[in-house]
Amino acid sequence: MSTKKAYVKQIKGISFVGKTDSNHWITMDGPEESGGSNAGIRPKELLLLGLAGCTGSDVASILKKKRVNTDDFEINITADVSDEHPQVFTKIHIEYVFYGDNIPQKDVERAIELSQTKYCSVTKMLEKAMPITHSYRIEIKKETPAEI
């Protein structure tokens, strides 16, 4: 069994910086009304980014192995939060969005399935605490801001 480590240091109030074994620093903070300076991502939000990054890496890798080409790939995550403290996530939905021509639906579905059931360790940890659902879309062309 391996061990992972994290180091977090208070800057001021509820503003913190932290790094892990990969040696990359990240700033975490809260809103000014809670003693922060609104200078960084909220710690709970990092969980959602970790989930998206984990499953996204799996899906992109699986599609590459299947020689499925995409023009772009995005993940949208929504999470319901309880009203009462500690205001935990109660449900998460992952939407995978693929852009490109001739993207086989069956390959996308299989890549997502493998990520969700076998490879994504973040999914496996979080699904013990709440339901995680997913959906996907395949779009032919991504709209650029000039086209909107």
Q: What is the CATH number of the domain that holds 88?
A: 3.30.300.20
Residue 95 sits in the same domain as residue 138: yes
Q: Is residue 127 part of a domain?
A: yes
Residue 56 sits in the same domain as residue 35: no
Dist. CA 39–CA 126, nearest whole Å? 27
pLDDT at residue 148 greater than cutoff 60: no
- Summarised one tens digit per residue, pLDDT across range 43-59 is 999 999 999 999 999 99
Dist. CA 133–CA 9, nearest whole Å? 34
Q: Is residue 148 part of a domain?
A: no
Number of domains in the chain: 2
Beta strands 25-28 and 6-12, pairing class: unpaired
Q: Is residue 96 part of a domain?
A: yes
Dist. CA 80–CA 74, nearest whole Å? 20
Residue 35 burial (CB count, 10 A): 12
pLDDT at 141: 74
Domain range for residue 138?
43-142
pLDDT at residue 61 greater than cutoff 60: yes
Residue 17 sits in the same domain as residue 50: no
Q: What is the value of pTM for the model shown?
A: 0.88
Q: Is residue 147 part of a domain?
A: no
Cβ proximity of 75 and 55 under 8 Å? yes
Dist. CA 115–CA 75, nearest whole Å? 13
Q: Is residue 7 part of a domain?
A: yes
Residue 33 sits in the same domain as residue 48: no
Residue 28 sits in the same domain as residue 87: no
- Summarised one tens digit per residue, pLDDT across range 72-129 is 999 999 999 999 999 999 999 999 999 999 999 999 999 999 999 999 999 999 999 9
